[in-house]
A and B are shown apart, each in its own frame.
Chain A
């Protein structure tokens, strides 16, 4: 009798993996959708690269534009973006890191901390064009900086501040408590511990956040439209208070306004490709650094 029972059970367990319609349908649906994202990125990348690659040359990135921007290179545009981004980071990283130190080390739970957290959270959701309006009202008009490198950098700094705070805070929070204990046990004060132990340990993480933030900032258009970027400037800005040309805005103006939209198409592709290489390159660098740090962490 037991043998009989066993046989029926055997067939039950050994049935050929029955094709489960629901299971198969949903899993392959999700698999397909999941790959769509990757495919889209490649299509766009390929298209821009295909059209932009033959205009990219040493001359293109080292010469200024000529003949009403229909010919020549984009040297001042590249420099403009680099200056804007660099100044923005110089302004925002210290503030972001100090805020992160406040959140991770000095804050006490309560209404005040909740207000700060909520502000950072809200700031992160504000549309970039609204930051542009803010920069216009405050830095350009109220502080009287005019459309300038400084006003644009400050606007971008305000925009990227929440991101820098959260990546720095994350980096600081991964520093193990035992490191701090060891420092306190040696008689160090809180600030000494932060400066000598916490910050150096968290520095790679903070820098990675900075690099990823730089990538985000350098691709932004809306915040600099009314605060820094000009349709055309004769060269690179010579002071903090001069307007400049920047890669994202350059693509926008060449593609939508002006009288030579079709003629400048190759330059548009070239500029777009330059911007993509810059942004994705920085991104890739940040991502690689981050995954290395995660693997390296022995504690």
Chain B
């Protein structure tokens, strides 16, 4: 057995599905001198991989997760360890059936084979299922099972054969040494390893290892209960591991998966049973393995009954016994996404909170990321840099996963908000907003008003122009007040709390070079200029889009969205040049937006400064005194109206907010929520949003955001961007309007985003990347009286006037292409912003 080497280029901690996949892909990409450690023996060191149920359903509402799953399936197939058996998600209720229609939509959007079927269809393939218990199902023939331990062994052996890898089992990591912000050394009970790179890929133990380097890996070990019942004669008569499709009994949060002569019944229906990584028993203390804990029967009682109800003849067969029952540990995170990427400790990477269905895909993505600085599949939603401070607390993870565990098979509305551990960050205007009846959404821990009940009186004034929604699902987490606020903003003005913006200053010698290197737009502009710019990765995909203000020769302020803020800050910090210093100002500076035709009147009555069009031109910023407070005003707009972003210290923000509302009241101004700022105002103007239209798999050209010239200064992604400008786009971001909302039942339906775009008669469209178009953002455009959709279309369809359809809940609605570049549908010449 190999000894622990004294040094390595890269140490991978963990030999589960993730660690094994990672060493394979690193070796494939040319890495040498890799050392893989695990505390347990091989091939099953005792982590979650060892007890996984190993089945893979393909469709997730998240594109990122689905892509990782599809890539993993392709890899499992290539290794010959994937058995296709098909899978059903069955519905016992009409509400679930509607959710299955929505899942069918996602399947179409992501290009996954599937269909909605009858109970009879299910019973034909699963004869021991009582069809009277269900009303329909979502059938995915591509579902299958894998041998994840075998896959891990194969991948590890490939890396070993290439001479790139040394694997040392039965060795415990006892420390990580960090020097000057870089990982230097892994300490183990069998000797120390000097290392340039270290990857923490040890599943449920990852937080414990991360803590050794001061890195928070906010996942929690959580119990998933599973029993195995057999031998069942109906199964035993068939050869091999699996003959019958897997059944996910969605309404009871259970699954039934054949395993040879046994039927495994797993559950996500029980209470969340969480654990601290430090409390996981050692291998010596464990009867089975450290992640196969004693079964707690009481938690499973209801599920057992429901499973028996669905498959009475099979589970009640003579001689069939509950032969194996565990509380198996797996990893959960506060937002349900994995934890991948480089931590704030340079060279220390993470690949954790990953399930079997994503394992090999994650291994490939992280290996590519470590090698090239980007991965083919955009994994931004899983980036460890995404976490805000409040999310790094174990308590937060515990509360959020307790809330979300029961939703593992749940019906989750796309706008659904968490209830637990709220009020983490409150803007100075919070008290005022509460009095105004704000309906708060959470962004980056901030409580942000999405709309204000105080504006309910506007509904009557605007009548049907607020585009009320008849269907409960379409109007859940939504209010027509959003559209009323929108109309009032366009008519008079609106005041918007934007405190959740992430702000950081880059100062000192090297500040200009730092922003020039990071941003696509020319940042060498006059002091007092505001720059809107994409930020690219080395592959020319979007890292972000944000604004930069030049406040001095060596002083720039970067303003970006709260949700993605920490990742942007990390990116800029990693690209600082010379002596430039980055300082986060998020928690000291509040931002208030003031927009609308009366914005200038309102601001003018609170300041002596010249705020005329000539005196304060578009895309300029400067300090002025407003309401006796020093305010950095920036003439910019994300809603297509005349106005300013006003940056003000936390101490002065509430008073400024009140003054703007009070003075604004004379002009008909109201407080306006993020429902307008983030959706309705934005999409009428065709403004793109990172995470929706913009991601690492999209280019500036495809998004229709290219400028006539490219600056001479070098920046990340420049080479690829120049090449992209020479190529014809493979896909084109378009704005579409819905022509008719009437469903077959006569009720009007409103899409919420994520729906597939098809030909008028329901035919599939495919762009130059082989992707199918789907709605990236959907929302009301009250000033147009239309429901607007943004979507990337194949270039042939990206023609104004093209008639297509959107599929919503498995019905087709006619849509027409209204814009094929960044030209807004509303105020196309931007006259209102003057």
Report if A and B associate in a common complex. no
Please report A residues at the B interface, Cβ cutoff 8 Å: none
